[in-house]
Each structure stands twice: as structure tokens, then as C-alpha cells.
Amino acid sequence: MDGLIKLAELSYSYILKNYYNKKALYTVLCAYGVFKTIYLAFIDPLRKVPGPWYARFSKIPVRYAQFSGETQRYFQSLHDKYGPIVRAGPRTLSCSSSKEFKQVMSTYRYKKSTIYEGFANVHPNIFSTRDETLNKTRRRQVGPAVSQKGLKLIESLVSSVCVDSADTKLDELTQEGSGSAEINYFNFFQNITTDVVGELGFGIKIGAVQNEGHPISGWINGVVKNSMKFNSFPLLKKFQRIMPGLSNNENNLKNLCMGQIKQRQELIKNNSLDPNTYDVLQIYVTATNPSTNKPLSDDELLTEIVAVSVVGIHTTSITMTWMMAYLMAYPEVYRKLVQEIRTTFPDRNKKITISEVKEKLPYLVATIHEVLRVVGSHGNNLFRDIPKEGLEIHGFNIPYKSEIGMFLPGANLDSSVWEDPKTFNPDRFLGDDGDRLKKEVLAFSTGVRMCPGKDFSMIQLYLVFANMFKNFDFSLPADSKLIPNSKNSHPIPNDITYITRLPANPQADCNVVITKALN
């Protein structure tokens, strides 16, 4: 045995002496680089997928686009140049066709990629989890909130916040301004969704509309931006651990949510909770994990409530923001929409319901769907891992260990589905083909991971705009840079994409003048 050990030591010493030097190391690295280049250029199974030449060798341009907020424009430019399937990195592809989008999103076979991990610095939740079982479990648990019974209760709550408190606030502002007032609609819509999620998420009255803001909105905006920035370059996530200040938004949001969880648990423990309490927190607090038959842990409750807060406040308010931006850019659409609402519901004191919107305001419904199609709130790729059996798409065989991004904005502009897809035209949803086309809008994704809050979001969109446009007039300020003119007939605010797609300068570009409607 001693002889073997001595022989091993001599061999190790010989290797170090003869091969462990800079020259040998450089030789090995150069050989590997040459081999890798030849492989990626001439042998790699993805070599025939169209795309920029550099995509064969590096994903850095994608990561930079994600980090800088240029994701939507970057991928759209690739698809405009190369077609519906594009190679964006050595093992990364992007697909913008509606048919294939539905194909990939219809099954759990293509699991979410690692970019979803660590969203908002919490554990996997109903939105971010890559695990099929966990996603199915959470969907079953939250199911009552989006059932017909749940939606009826939600409509009542949303009507109180979206219609009553918003109407009261706008009345107050116009009275203070002697009949008119200037508001920032990006902030105003975030205040509305903040109050809605406060009540529906964990049963508290935040009062963001009345108080013209709440810190949670800023925290959530920061969380979304940070999630994309830090996931675009994973090394940056290590800095969050080293520099706690980089996680202030995440920590503030988690502290608020955990405080509400503890308060609810205490009320239940003391039998002090109103038996009629119905919100998402209560659904999760009373749920059990099928594998253990035990209640959700505090960490599990926290991650789900954080997810509900981020998605519920951020995405719906952004859609509302784009709705207003497009109506200001297309005054003919705005006038037609207002005329439909006020002709159908001339009574200023009448509160328009969801069923009335769907049955009697087809142009409003069409306009909301067109906004969701053209811009929506999601400007990113929905990345999925390719399984062992691979994926055949657009005539290419995509191998295992690749990832494909299903480019949601591009799928909503697919020319095989939409006539003149880049033109804003709500009329496309009217007439005999309208109902079919509404189902083609992919703003909430589709298939097994479709957003479970879709109906909840649509309720808010319908109620807010139907009642707000019934009672108030909106116009751009005289000094706005976005007033339609001969050089730019339909100016839209510049956008930026950090997961969600929002105006790049909302405080400067999202201002309107409101006045009371003259009946």
C-alpha cells in the first residue's frame, strides 16, 4: 500500500512539473475554444435555426436586453428580421407564432426555465414554480376565489373600490380644481388596484385612492424591476446577499405581507375573525398540503401572498395605463367609446355592472381586448425548458437542454391570425368574427399555466372604464408632448420591459386633465 501511495505521489509530482504550466494551460484553453467554435458553427443541431451570427456563441445580448429593459424591442426586432422562430443564444430560441405558442403552453411537458427562480426573493409560488405538482395544488387551493361564486363576491368588492372610491376621488379633485384637475393616471390606476388587492388579498383597507398613494406600489414596481435585472445576470443575485440595501423593496413587501398573515392567524386563534371573511389570504390559511395534510407553513403563505400582491397590483394597473394612453392617442376611438357608454347609460348615478358591460357595451369590450392584444402588460418571453424527447417546431428539431421563449407580444401580432396586426383597431372584435378573435388574444397566456387571475383582472378593467368614462371627460394637458399632430398622428409613450411592459417615463408621460361630464 505504501508503494502505491508513493507511486501516486510521484505521478502527481510529474504531472505538475511537466504539464501544469501556463503554456500547457493556454494550449488546452485554445484547443477547447477552437473545438467549441467549430462545433457551434458547423455541427450544433441548432445551427440552421435563423438568427444573428453571434447568437451561436453567446447569450449576452439577450441578458443585456433583459437588464436594460429592452427585452420586447430586442426580440421583436429579431422576429421582424428572421421570422417566427429565432435563435437568440447557444441554447436559447424564441418563437412568436400563435399556433406554436398554444402548443407549447398547453402542457406541463415544457417546464418553466430557471429564470423564474427566486422571483421577489421568495420561495416558488403559483406563478413562479417550475414544479407541476405544486402549481396544480395551488390552483386547486385558490380555485374558490375564481369560481362563479367567488367572482360574484369579487365583483361586489371591486365595484366598491374601483367605482365608488375612484368616482368619489375624481369628484373631489374636480371640485377642488373648480371643475377640472390634472392627474397622473399611472399612479391613479395603481392606487385603484392597490386598494382592490388590499381587500381581496388580505382583507385590509389600504386607502391608496383616497390618500393618493401607498408605499406598497413603489415596492412592487421595484420588485418586478429587480427580479429581471438580477435574473438576467445570475451573478448579480449574490450581491443581494452581500448588500442588503439591494433588497429593500423585497423586504418591505415581505414584512407587510407577513404582518397581515400573523394578524390573521391571531384572529383565528382567538376566534375573533368575522365568519364572513372571504379573501385570498383566508383561502390559503385554511388550505392544507395534500402530501402532508397539514396547513401551509408561514413561508408558503408568505410566498403566495407576495405573488398575489405583485401580480394583482402591477399587471392590471399597467393594462389600465395603456388603455388610457391609447385612447388619448386615438381620439376618434375615445369619442366613439364615450358615446356608446353615455348613450346606453345616460343616468350619471347609475352604476354599470359587469353583465351590463358584456351585454350592452360591445365597443368598450372590443377596445379593452385590442389594448390587451397590441400592448398588454407582459412584454417578455415565457421561457420553457426542452424535455428529453425534444421539440419539433417550425420544421426544426430542438434538442434536450435547450430553452425556448414563447414570445407573447409577438404571438399577439401574428399575421396569420390578425389582419394588419400592428394597427390599433378595436373594430376587428366587432361583427361575426369578434368572439372567435377575442379567444386569440394571449395577454394572460394560455394552457396549463394561464394566469389564474384573468377574470379578476377583466372585472376591474370593465368596471373602471365603463363607470369612469360615463361620469368624466379626459384630455391631454396643453403642454403634453403626446398630443396627436401632423408629424405623429398617434403618439404613444415610450415603453420599457422588466417582465412587465410599462411606460418608460410614467410621471412625465401619463398625465391627463379630467372634468365632470356634462349630461
Lowest mean pLDDT among 59-73, 102-116, 228-242, 289-303: 228-242
pLDDT digits (tens, 9 = 90+) for 369-378: 999 999 989 9
Q: Are residues 324 and 398 in the same domain?
A: yes
Same-domain status, 101 and 245: yes
264 lies in some domain: yes
Lowest mean per-residue pLDDT among 14-28, 71-85, 285-299:
14-28
Q: How many CA within 13 A on the CB side of residue 9?
A: 6
Number of domains forming the structure of the chain:
2
User: Does 222 fall in a domain?
Assistant: yes
Domain annotation covers residue 13 = yes
Q: Are residues 398 and 329 in the same domain?
A: yes
pTM of the model: 0.91
Greater confidence (12 vs 377) lies with 377
**Average pLDDT in the chain:** 90
Nearest Cα residue to 429 out of 479, 367, 473, 385? 367
pLDDT band at 4; cut points 50, 70, 90: very low
Are residues 29 and 170 both part of a single domain?
no
Cβ neighbours of 243 (radius 10 Å): 9
Instruction: Answer yes or no: is 259 within a domain.
Output: yes
Do residues 181 and 39 both lie within one domain?
Answer: no
For residues 257-268, average pLDDT: 95
What is the pLDDT averaged over residues 452-458?
92
Q: How far is CA 302 from CA 11, 27, 121, 124, 228, in A?
A: 56, 52, 11, 10, 21
Q: Is the domain of 20 the same as that of 61?
A: no
pLDDT at 229 over 50: yes
**Range 266-287 average pLDDT:** 90
Say yes or no: 111 and 35 in one domain. no
Same domain (yes/no): 9, 83: no
Could you tell me if residue 50 is inside a domain?
A: no
Nearby residues of 348 by Cβ (< 8 Å), 6 or more positions away: 470, 471, 517, 519
Closest C-alpha among 102, 201, 100, 214 to residue 158: 201
Which three three-digit cell numbers place residue 469?
368614462
Residue 33's pLDDT band, with cuts at 50, 70 and 90, is low
| Residue 20 and residue 77 in one domain | no
Exposed e or buried b for every residue in 56-71, given b needs 16+ CB within 10 A?
A: beebebbbebbbebbb
Q: How far apart are CA 144 and CA 315, in angstroms?
A: 22
**Residue ranges at the known binding site:** 451
Q: Are residues 151 and 289 in the same domain?
A: yes
Shared domain for 62 and 202, answered yes or no, is yes
Domain hosting residue 6, numbered range: 1-44
Q: Residue 458 pLDDT > 60, yes or no?
A: yes
In a domain, 52, yes or no: no
Q: Tell me if 453 is assigned to some domain.
A: yes
pLDDT digits (tens, 9 = 90+) for 375-407: 989 999 999 999 999 999 999 999 999 999 999
Of the two residues 156 and 457, the one the predictor is more confident about is: 457
Query: Which residues participate in the annotated binding site for heme?
Result: 451
Q: What is the CATH number of the domain that holds 141?
A: 1.10.630.10
